[in-house]
Structure 1
Amino acid sequence: MPVTGLPGITDDYFYFLMFNSSLISTSCGTSGVRNFGKIFMPCFYSVIFLSGLLGNSLVVVIYIYYEKLKTVTNIYMMNLAIADLLFLCTLPFWAVDAHSQWIFGTFMCKLVSGAYTVNLYSCMLILTCVSINRYKAIVQATKSLNNGKKIFHSKLICVGIWVFAIILALPQFILSEAYSDTPDKTICTMVYPLNFSSIIKGGVHVTQLLVGFLIPFVAMTICYSVIAKTLLQDKGFQKHKSLKIIIAVVVVFVICELPFNIVLLVEILQIFSEEIPSCEYIANTDYAIIVTESIAYLHCCLNPILYVFLGVKFRNSFLKVLKDAGCISQKQLAEHLKTECGTSRPVSGISETTSLHPL
């Protein structure tokens, strides 16, 4: 068998390593990256996990016991919170992996990697649906379907999203393995087969870039731009607050998701260049992925605030939770609800809650 020019590395093994670059990090002496990740990732993941778990759990409780999933928006927000919660539940596994090594075996590696990807895709696709739903409710003001049919259609869409996300995550379910990169360390990684390695790995990365960023970003940009234009032409009292929230939604999405997807794009270009990465490239890429991916995870914590907590109806339901828990009195709740009713003026027939959380 021909030799690549690297001592002891055959052509087949060379190409195997080229498309499984995570397996050659040890030979490059990337102990600095591992030491950084060993401290940074468990700490950062713990904060994201605890804060995201609190916010999204509260959303689920309120929608089940107080809002009762009576609107299309409630259906989408409930599914978004569930996707975020399931996504967050994978973080403790990755924190342990970063701190020491993967101790959970190949089955759990496949399950956790697949679940991570399913909920990443479902979350982004639900955000896309939320943007389109707001556009239709505010700009088009569609009333062709009654609320019951709208809710039924939204449930079908959510089921379709989950099924589609599972299909897209099949490579993670199939190819993820607990791999011993050194005698005393095991990692959970995707191990690509020798044949068609570039096609499979490139396809996985391109899919993540498209579904995990470009599609929701384009949908949000178009829909919220038209919504903002519509609100600017309105003379309602609440339009400025609505515009601020819309801008916050887009800005937070870009800040959280864009850095990681730039790194992902660089990775895609390197894969299709069919050149084995240098040790310096691998180290720099590892640092970039650790930091930018952690920033992207912050989105799970911010989704409840941006999409739910800022709505008037949800705030009122949250206060009811506090009242039932004995944190505030019935009198305080009544005074707040009276204040909300007195200050919430509609925007051309569309209330603040509807404009941000339409049916």
Structure 2
Amino acid sequence: MTANGEMGYESVSTMEPWTQSSDYMSSETEDYEDSGICDKSWVRLFRGSYEPVLYWIIFVVGGVGNLLVVWIYTTVKHRLKTMTDVYLLNLAIADLFFLGTLPFWATDATQGWVFTGVVCKGVSAVYKINFFSSMLLLTCISVDRYIAIVRVTQAHNFKSRRMFYSKLACLVVWLLSCFLSLPEFLFAEVKQGQHNVAFCSLVYPANNNNLTKVLVLCLQISVGFCLPLLVMVACYSVIIRTLMQARSFEKHKALRVILAVVAAFVLSQLPYNSHLIVEAAQAYNTTMTDCEAVKTFDVAGQVVKSLAYTHCCLNPILYAFIGVRFRKDLLQICQCLTRMGGVNKPQAVPKRPSVMSDTDTTPALSL
């Protein structure tokens, strides 16, 4: 999230002409290591002890799930029939690009940044582009579910136009995400830390109260968390009210799906974005000067950041695999693979819409 902070470990004291932000893998608290005031080597050891394994697990699990989504949407004929189909395909692509940056940061956690400065800028920018695109696509999915379930008549009447709008929305999401990632293109640099260990980090120009850094953090929090959360809560609240009025035995399953979607987003993203809010306040007006407090804050940042990364593994389950039609297509492809070389073809499976997948003509709530 599909979401996510800044990497690296260290920050240069505000006494320097440039303010260094720890890049995506760590907090952005002021680090006095360069002046020898606070030795944070144990924070790096903590990061190196678990992040590589965790990131490779997320990389493999999330990669398999999202590749399955892309595979099904690109191999089953005429699969992209609704707005949600378009959003889900783009969401899976965004998650895959995001996951592609994790091996770099897993290596960085144990060896430092062993790649070039160009790779540092590129990986940082790709990460942030796909972070923003994932969050904005989740927002689009929420709006589409509102239209398909609450405004079902209008959705059916303007079905062809909705497909055009979904593709246009995806284009806007990608362009906006590229624009929001400009700080990574401009400020990502390879810096030397203690013991000649290099790291990829954002280095902001020093200005009044680290204004550039504060603005970048506020932008990430607003667009990457607050906006999606507000839209999800607003849309799903109306959807739940509509479902409660429906006389369908499946509505309780649909409600559980919606609650799972919102809970997964909040539980994975809220802790990390709360941490970013504190970081923004710390950058604007440094109040945390005790070395032990800073180190504890950094470790907390590592933990909540790792939690936020798990959302890209949950997206395929929450937004694709729960749909009846998607599961049927997946089963059909698996049957084709197992029968490869045989003469019998798998029988076509009737397709039904699902609350988080397709609703061509009716807001059916089957799972």
Shorter-chain TM-score: which interval?
Answer: 0.7 to 0.9
Distance (Å, rounded) in 2 between the aligned partners of 1:101 and 1:225: 45
Give the helix-richer structure, 1 or 2.
Answer: 1
- Number of residue pairs aligned between Structure 1 and Structure 2: 338
Evaluate the alpha carbon distance shift between residue 36 and residue 195 of structure 1 in structure 2; reply closer, same or farther with a 3 A threshold: same
Structure 2, gaps ≥5 residues long:
1-12, 23-28
User: Which runs of structure 2 are paired with 1:61-100 in the superposition (5 Å)?
Assistant: 61-66=71-76, 68-100=79-111
Please say if residues 288 and 294 of structure 2, whose CA atoms lie closer than 8 Å, have aligned partners that are also in contact. no
- 1:116 maps to what in 2? 127
Q: Does 1:24 align with 2:32?
A: yes
Evaluate the alpha carbon distance shift between residue 35 and residue 151 of structure 1 in structure 2; reply closer, same or farther with a 3 A threshold: same
Please say if residues 319 and 333 of structure 1, whose CA atoms lie closer than 8 Å, have aligned partners that are also in contact. no
Question: Which range moved further: 296-305 or 191-200?
Answer: 191-200
- 2:364 maps to what in 1? 351
* Aligned-partner SS, 1:192: strand
- Structural RMSD (CA): 2.7
* Aligned-partner SS, 1:102: coil
Please say if residues 17 and 24 of structure 1, whose CA atoms lie closer than 8 Å, have aligned partners that are also in contact. no
Distance (Å, rounded) in 2 between the aligned partners of 1:45 and 1:19: 21
Evaluate the alpha carbon distance shift between residue 281 and residue 16 of structure 1 in structure 2; reply closer, same or farther with a 3 A threshold: farther
Q: Does 1:13 align with 2:26?
A: no
Evaluate the alpha carbon distance shift between residue 143 and residue 38 of structure 1 in structure 2; reply closer, same or farther with a 3 A threshold: closer
Distance (Å, rounded) in 2 between the aligned partners of 1:147 and 1:276: 54
Counterpart residue identity of residue 149, structure 2: I
Evaluate the alpha carbon distance shift between residue 197 and residue 58 of structure 1 in structure 2; reply closer, same or farther with a 3 A threshold: farther
Q: Does 1:104 align with 2:93?
A: no
Please say if residues 19 and 198 of structure 1, whose CA atoms lie closer than 8 Å, have aligned partners that are also in contact. no
Please say if residues 19 and 210 of structure 2, whose CA atoms lie closer than 8 Å, have aligned partners that are also in contact. no
Superposed CA deviations along residues 243-293 of structure 1, whole A, max 9, x for unmatched, are 010010011111111110111111111122245743223312210111101
Counterpart residue identity of residue 225, structure 1: S
Counterpart residue identity of residue 352, structure 1: L
- 1:6 maps to what in 2? none
Counterpart residue identity of residue 177, structure 1: E
Distance (Å, rounded) in 2 between the aligned partners of 1:200 and 1:104: 26
Identical aligned pairs, as a percentage? 39
Please say if residues 25 and 282 of structure 1, whose CA atoms lie closer than 8 Å, have aligned partners that are also in contact. no
Distance (Å, rounded) in 1 between the aligned partners of 2:157 and 2:184: 39
Distance (Å, rounded) in 1 between the aligned partners of 2:143 and 2:66: 22
Superposed CA deviations along residues 49-88 of structure 1, whole A, max 9, x for unmatched, are 0000000000001001115322211100000000100000
Residue 324 of structure 1 deviates from its aligned partner by 1.3
- 1:259 maps to what in 2? 271
Q: Does 1:175 align with 2:187?
A: yes
Question: Which range moved further: 190-199 or 42-51?
Answer: 190-199
- 1:44 maps to what in 2? 54
User: Which runs of structure 2 are paired with 1:242-281 in the superposition (5 Å)?
Assistant: 242-275=254-287, 277-281=289-293
Superposed CA deviations along residues 173-195 of structure 1, whole A, max 9, x for unmatched, are 11000000235200100011123
Q: Does 1:326 align with 2:338?
A: yes
Structure 1, gaps ≥5 residues long:
1-10
Distance (Å, rounded) in 2 between the aligned partners of 1:275 and 1:153: 47
Q: Does 1:205 align with 2:217?
A: yes
Question: Which range moved further: 93-102 or 190-199?
Answer: 190-199
Of residues 282, 294, 299, the one that matches 2:306 is 294
Please say if residues 113 and 176 of structure 1, whose CA atoms lie closer than 8 Å, have aligned partners that are also in contact. yes
Distance (Å, rounded) in 2 between the aligned partners of 1:238 and 1:330: 38
* Aligned-partner SS, 1:90: helix
| CA radius of gyration, larger in | 1
Distance (Å, rounded) in 1 between the aligned partners of 2:128 and 2:343: 44
Please say if residues 312 and 352 of structure 1, whose CA atoms lie closer than 8 Å, have aligned partners that are also in contact. no
* Aligned-partner SS, 2:193: strand
Please say if residues 19 and 197 of structure 1, whose CA atoms lie closer than 8 Å, have aligned partners that are also in contact. no
Please say if residues 20 and 201 of structure 2, whose CA atoms lie closer than 8 Å, have aligned partners that are also in contact. no
Counterpart residue identity of residue 38, structure 1: G
* Aligned-partner SS, 2:192: strand
